Chains A and B, each alone.
Chain A
């Protein structure tokens, strides 16, 4: 009965979304205050209905209701409770319900925290979000019903894919979806502004914290996915340029460009058309990611079981949402004013250059992701595009973007001077170059590639610290007073940029200095890597809740002193019979020691792969810093002050970031 109630709740949510997607928009067009006022209650009702449906599905998983086809397909009575709950979004139908729930949460949040926005603008924003919700709910009810019954009911479930039976499954997809769906807010703000013809600095200020928040979630979501792949897949990689990874990375790149473009629109009133286009593209790429995962047009370990009906439906949805919004853009954009003028050498120009580089990088990733499809569709055969393409194309695009990160925050708005910038940055350039050359020699291996990567990382570090020093020196009072004299959004920008530097340093060092060996190890045998001795003590059998594991014991020592014990596992999941590798990792600020078990080779010997990963943790720590920077930027006082003001107009934002 509960699944039927959940299903009915979804039907009611669809009807509510239809009302939300129509009444406030008509009310805004006609200036009908009553209809405008209906937006907020409809938003709340929609959220409650979808949340209730979600709880019904979670209950079906928690109580092992295998009469529900989706539960039978993605769970099992032996599955631990936390994974049974995470299994709610472990398959196509449930993940779509999670998407719809998160969309309704964002809609409620916009309703709650946008009281300072004029009523008709807010009604349009909520109406647009309601229309997006209609598409997802309709898709769920027509082609992806998570509550579909199975008659007769299965005695037990087929189990959740063992790859997904990990804490990463609990946090990574919700975070990622918070990011994907969060861009629907920026999208809705843009469409509402295009509809109402209100593309000004106030619009940019209203939209900016929402966009940054979505970007923070997406950053952390991608970071969690990368870290999960690193320890789960057993070969020590942290990014694979897999099509579905790319699907999350493209909106991130465009979202990063959007955050910076919004800053220019807010501060100087420039780039309005470009900012709107970026907002449409960021959400469109999130939707495209959904299509790629669920339509079956590409292969990926992330892809859900596919169904041609679903692909056609999502494609039609893309045509309506993206095609409609781009058509609206084509209609309205030529009428959008150019905004504040600026010199070729100015902060606006540097930000524009960075925007273009990020957008081109996103397009390059899109091209590489879809190139096999293009070639196949044109009848030129089957080809695969892998990391060599992405590495070759992406790095040259990001190198100038990183360099500009050091220059942009120092340049003045409207008009700057190259000699002045060169004078101010000469020490930063010299220090970065010296460090980039000295460090690889100190580490015993200098290559041009490592040197260049280190130069870019140090460049962002040194220019950021120079910026901090100059700002603090300009203020008076105690250190805390000097810190507080600068806005949180400025500190947010600096910390996010330092996060990029930390990330770049981690990537360069791990790619340049990582080492690995694959060896056959019998109990008592020792392998040597990066100055460490890895002694294999054999394996012991361990019984898990729904798997049998062989747990290896590897004692790691250096100069005869025990440093750590690695315990890599080889698991066999009893229901599916699927083998899984669980890496044994000793994480450390300086380096990770990593081991994974292969196959048993007889007489107690196993194939073992051992890795030394210098500074790999910096990659994820850099992402955390970026996320923290974003949160700090959102916490800026001026956004809170604006919340109190009904008459929000463009105003002085001195001390603001970028």
Chain B
């Protein structure tokens, strides 16, 4: 029984992750710029 429960852990983690990913589909990630997007902007604007 213990080994069955242990084997179920990856599935449980995945299902929790799916919940967050589903919620994420209805959020607006553009409000949080990625570090690379921020760096790219920086590369185009030079501060001399």
Contact = CB atoms under 8 A, between A and B. Distances in A.
Q: 5 closest Cβ contacts across the A-B interface?
A: A598-B46, A242-B36, A297-B24, A607-B46, A386-B35
Interface in B7-31: 7-8, 10-11, 14-15, 17-18, 20-27, 29-31
A277 B14 CA distance: 13
Interface string A314-344: 0100110011001101110110000000000
Query: Looking at A300, A326, A598, which has the most chain B CB atoms within 10 Å of its CB?
Result: A326
6 contacts: A237-B39, A280-B10, A298-B29, A326-B11, A334-B3, A377-B20
Interface of A: 233-235, 237, 240-243, 245, 273, 277, 280-281, 284, 291, 295-301, 308, 311-312, 315, 318-319, 322-323, 326-327, 329-331, 333-334, 370, 372-374, 376-377, 382-384, 386-387, 518-520, 579, 581, 596, 598-599, 601, 607, 609
A519 B33 CA distance: 28
Contacts of A330: 4, 7-8, 10-11
Contacts of B15: 323
B4 A334 contact: yes
Nearest to A388: B35
B35 A387 contact: yes
Nearest to A295: B25
Contacts of B37: 242, 299-301
A443 B34 CA distance: 35
A387 B35 CA distance: 8
Nearest to A363: B13
A163 to B, nearest CB: 9
Interface of B: 3-4, 6-8, 10-11, 14-15, 17-18, 20-27, 29-40, 42-48
Contacts of B8: 330
Contacts of B23: 373, 377
A278 to B, nearest CB: 11
A281 B6 CA distance: 16
Contact of A384 (B25, B32, B44): B32
A557 B13 CA distance: 58
Given A234-B43, A297-B21, A327 B32 contact: no
B11 to A, nearest CB: 4
A527 to B, nearest CB: 12
Contact of B20 (A295, A296, A370, A579): A370
B21 A315 contact: yes
Contact of A322 (B14, B27, B31): B14
Contacts of B32: 299, 372, 376, 382-384
B36 A245 contact: yes
B25 A315 contact: yes
Contacts of A520: 48
B34 A298 contact: yes
B10 A373 contact: no
A581 B43 contact: yes
B4 A518 contact: no
A384 B34 contact: yes
A601 B42 CA distance: 17
B25 A296 contact: yes
Given A235-B39, A315-B18, A277 B27 contact: no
Contact of A329 (B7, B22, B45): B7
B16 to A, nearest CB: 10
Nearest to B10: A326
